[in-house]
Structure 1
Amino acid sequence: MTYRYTATPTPIGAAVAVFSAGDRLVALGTAEDPGWVVDAVAREVRGSLAPADADVAGLSAQLEEYFAGERTAFDVEIDWSLSTGFAAEALRLVAEIPYGETSSYGEIAARAGRPRAARAVGTACRFTPITLVVPAHRVIRSDGSVGEYAGREDVKRFLLELEGAIAR
């Protein structure tokens, strides 16, 4: 199968979106080097990636609106094929956290019916194949501290401040 990808500049790096058949979002990652995300996703999907001719599913425009503070939700169909087991279940719950709100790792674990699995939720968030649209940045520690986002607390804090979930 051939997957298509787009790269959109954002304040936190290039957002590389990979789409499967039917313009379903299979991966979204940010990096200073878009090629790194493309290579990593190509290995995961075991397929080839080709640049898209246009803004697939309007996601590039939606990302621009989000970072401009004009969009609070993304309108794109998700292909969950790169998430399995408890991680997939946790990430689906994370996707339900509203803009401007946060939830703790423990709260997500409890909602998934596994109240002792907060660390597993953290692992799912850290390794989610779809960032931003699946708002792992909205999941915080039970003590109220923000924690990290793909290893970068500054990025997580920036996103939560952008959404008004924490004070600037």
Structure 2
Amino acid sequence: MTLNIFEELNADDDTMSRLHTRLEQAAEADQALDISYRTIDTPVGTLLLAATTVGLLRVAYDVEGHDTVLARLADAVSPRILRSPSRLEAVARQIDEYFAKRRTTFDVPVDLRLTNGFRRSVVEHLREIDYGRRESYATVAAAIGHPRAVRAVGTACGHNPLPVVFPCHRVVRSDGSTGQYVGGVLAKSALLDLEADARE
């Protein structure tokens, strides 16, 4: 009995999936996997999640180019990268809960090695901005002890390695307008609207 072309393709997909799972398990067992990644669909587009054994390393929007982000991680951290959804299951679940309005904070280990100095101070402050609240770039600058560094705060937010989880979308201009965002202005507005609706 011969298989039609679609059955052959499905068989190949199944085989490749099984092989990938075995490779993933072997890499984990041999501690040969430094960065695991997966993608998840959300109301603001497909997000790339990447993690080390320390914790969540990167969240990236489509507009950043997922392949580009992975290549940069390979250069900056390690080339031992593999799609490994299991390591990121808890993060993916919490992000789903956030978009379903069932979660207002994230409780996952993080790896902040991609940011340091002034930018790290900004990124760490982001977690202090409560769900549904907004702070101006000037307020953030003052809060971290650099009141004149308003523009630098904007740059730091734009280089936040963990958008959504570390909520740089809650930082807006002093006049209340949204300002720029790594995922695009529409994504930032969608996140702010989501949180505003959930608090009503």
Same fold per superposition (TM over 0.5): yes
Distance 1:162 1:36 in 2: 29
Root-mean-square deviation (CA), in Å? 2.1
Residue 20 (str. 1) matches residue 84 (str. 2): no
Q: Name 1:82's counterpart in structure 2.
A: 114
**Where do residues 87-102 of structure 1 align in structure 2 (5 Å cutoff)?**
87-102=119-134
Report if aligned partners of 2:36, 2:81 keep a CA contact under 8 Å in 1: yes
Q: Name 1:103's counterpart in structure 2.
A: 135
Q: Name 2:76's counterpart in structure 1.
A: 44
Give the SS at the match of 1:115: coil
Q: Name 1:73's counterpart in structure 2.
A: 105
**Identity in percent:** 37
Structure 1, unpaired ranges of 5+: none
Give the SS at the match of 2:40: strand
Which amino acid in 2 is paired with 1:158?
A
TM-score (norm 2): 0.76
Residue 132 (str. 1) matches residue 134 (str. 2): no
Q: Name 1:146's counterpart in structure 2.
A: 178
Q: How far 1:55 moved relative to its partner?
A: 5.0
Distance 2:85 2:194 in 1: 30
Which amino acid in 2 is paired with 1:49?
I
Q: Which residue among 154, 162, 165 is the counterpart of 2:194?
A: 162
Which amino acid in 2 is paired with 1:35?
D
Q: Which has the larger radius of gyration?
A: 2
Aligned residues: 166
> Which structure has greater helix proportion?
2
Q: How far 1:99 moved relative to its partner?
A: 0.6
Residue 63 (str. 1) matches residue 95 (str. 2): yes
